[in-house]
Amino acid sequence: MNKLAFIFPGQGAQYIGMGQDFYENIREAREVFDEANDVLNMDLSGLIFDGEEEDLKKTENTQPAILTTCIAILRALQKEGIDCDYTAGLSLGEYSSIVMSKAIEFSDALDLVRKRGRFMQEAVPQGIGGMAAILGLDRLNLPLVIEASKAYGIVEVANYNSPEQIVISGELKGIRIAGEKALELGARKVVELPVSAPFHTSLLSKAGERLSKEFEKVKINDLDKKVVSNVDGNVIANKDELVPKLVDQVSHSVLWQQSVEFMINQGVDTFVEIGPGKSLSGFVKRIGKHMNKKVQSLSISDLESYKNALSILKREA
């Protein structure tokens, strides 16, 4: 039995103009952008479509901007009767999955991710922390990379993205030493990421505590979709598990590779990335190849890719 998963990107995928063609052409998508403007009491759609990149890159703007774009595209898909068996999102993207599962209202999620962005940014002073992607490192050498950086600051694994890519996060000096060690041990490439905080490390545990208090103000419903969690690569069993996992996610590794492997093992053979960018589709292809499984990976970020994906999904339905 073929199964379908919707997957949602996280911070870093944003760009000026994302989702604009959906806003202009699909009523259900436009309503999502309009609702976001009202809830946040700001011209979020104006910032996304015509704003300055520097403003969009501010974490407390980026997070609601990506969430809104993902949900707008999702609503366009749902209007066509396309539904999924599983859903997962990378870091911030998990909130799109949660909204889709009806566990949290879109309006509540918008407020939460704006605060989440602010709390994450405020947890560590600017210029202290950072992140770097390591490509092509043998996983067996990972402990040696972390060990080499210990004397220079906290460095932890933030993301297990694919067999080819992990992301480390922590204090900048330690990150750079770890990067040098990774290259020495055979990594193909190390790329410092354009972020201003060490996401998904113990340095952000205070941000998680602050976020936990915000969740107390929000109504949590039962999930009506199988949402695969970042923190353990498993389906969130019930609404009682939801908040602890979203709070832990701020300061724990994102197990993206493990999440995709889990879904493939559950019979998912088609993944649809919904939102800006194509990174997750690339990860899915590499994970499927690594597992010797035939997996189809589609991405929808604009009207053209939307129409293309629709024709494939309707043909296969």
Active-site position among 45, 91, 253, 259? 91
Q: Which is nearest to 170 in space by CA: 151, 158, 155? A: 155
State the Cα torsion 64-263-197-186 to the nearest 10°: -150
Contact 155, 174 (CB under 8 A): yes
**Dihedral of alpha carbons 10, 303, 289, 84, sign:** positive
Contact 37, 72 (CB under 8 A): no
Residue 222 token pair: 């039962």
Q: How many C-beta neighbours within 10 Å does residue 292 have?
A: 6
Take residue 179 and report the two structure tokens written for it. 């990067």
The one catalytic residue in 200, 229, 251, 252 is: 200
Coil, helix or strand at residue 235? strand
Q: Is 253 a catalytic residue?
A: no
Q: Quick one: which of 293, 228, 276, 283 has its CA closest to 5?
A: 228
- The rounded distance, in Å, linking the Cα atoms of 119 and 178 is 26
Separation between Cα atoms, residue 232 and residue 108, nearest integer Å: 24
- Verify whether residue 107 is a known catalytic residue: no
Mind spelling out the 3-state secondary structure of 213-225? HHHCCCCCCCCCC
Query: Chain-centre distance of CA 64, in angstroms?
Result: 12
Cα separation of 197 and 242, whole Å? Answer: 24
For residue 65, give every residue at least 6 positions away whose Cβ sits within 8 Å of its Cβ, in sequence order, or none: 14, 18, 44, 47, 48, 56
Tokens of residue 38, six digits: 């009202």
Map residue 155 onto helix, strand or coil: strand
Q: How far apart are CA 171 and CA 152, in angstroms?
A: 8
Residues carrying an active site annotation? 91, 200
